[in-house]
């Protein structure tokens, strides 16, 4: 359909909670196509409705790489129903050009959602995979949460934002994740 403009960090609507989709209408199906077209155009792994100014609970992901065929996944009204484990994920975001930082993520997630035909499905992503990261990253967008809110180092993210002429970190939005951090620290000490 259309490659849309991706909203950059600092746009207030990126911090808003998205609306539930009550019907997978033509408007929602068009939104899914626009999300996919925009994500592929920008060589992204995932894109959520709010990033193109559509605050609906919809996101798309494609973790195929290299010569693999495209494998678009559509999530409408997703809910994370199970999560466990912890790892350090180095992430970026299309709304934050050239910004990459280490964040805390769950190692395993189970998500329930609808596809673009309104059919319910459950998907499990296990281990420190790109799919595991992408589901959590895009899901957060639907609640106005950004990947920098999970940053392990406040100073690392502040420096990355400043270097890329993006607004400063919103300290009040940072998420205290002591349990995840404890689990990450335990796994790091086991590895030594």
**Dihedral, CA atoms, 179, 181, 183, 187, nearest 10 degrees?**
180
- Is residue 138 among the annotated active site residues? yes
Q: How far apart, in whole angstroms, are the C-alpha atoms of residue 146 and residue 68?
A: 29
Closest CA relative to residue 110, chosen from 120, 128, 124, 129 = 124
| DSSP states of 66-131 | TTSPP--EEEEEEEEEEEE--EEEEEEETTEEEEEEEEEE-SEEEEEEE-TTS-EEEEEE-SS-HH
Judging by DSSP bridges, how do beta strands 87-93 and 108-114 pair with one another? unpaired
Catalytic residue among 16, 20, 124, 138: 138
Q: How far apart, in whole angstroms, are the C-alpha atoms of residue 182 and residue 47?
A: 30
CB-facing half-sphere around the CA of 116: CA atoms within 13 A:
17
Active-site residue set: 138
């Amino acid at each position: 359909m259309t490659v849309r403009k991706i909203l950059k960090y600092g746009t207030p609507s990126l911090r808003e909670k998205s609306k539930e989709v009550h019907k997978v209408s033509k408007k929602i199906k068009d939104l899914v196509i626009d999300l996919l077209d925009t994500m592929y155009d920008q060589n992204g792994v995932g894109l959520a409705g709010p990033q193109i100014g559509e605050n609906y609970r919809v996101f798309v992901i494609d973790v195929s790489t290299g010569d693999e065929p495209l494998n678009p996944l559509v999530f409408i009204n997703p809910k994370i129903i199970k999560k466990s484990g912890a790892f350090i994920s180095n992430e970026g975001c299309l709304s934050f050009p050239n910004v990459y930082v280490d964040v805390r993520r769950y190692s395993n997630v189970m998500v329930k959602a609808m596809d673009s035909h309104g059919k319910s499905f459950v998907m499990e992503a296990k281990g420190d995979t790109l799919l595991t990261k992408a589901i959590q990253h895009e899901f957060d967008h639907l609640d106005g949460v950004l990947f920098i809110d999970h940053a392990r180092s406040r100073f690392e993210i502040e420096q990355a934002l400043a270097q890329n002429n993006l607004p400063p970190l919103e300290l009040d939005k940072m998420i205290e994740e002591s349990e995840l951090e404890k689990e990450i620290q335990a796994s790091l000490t086991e590895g030594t």
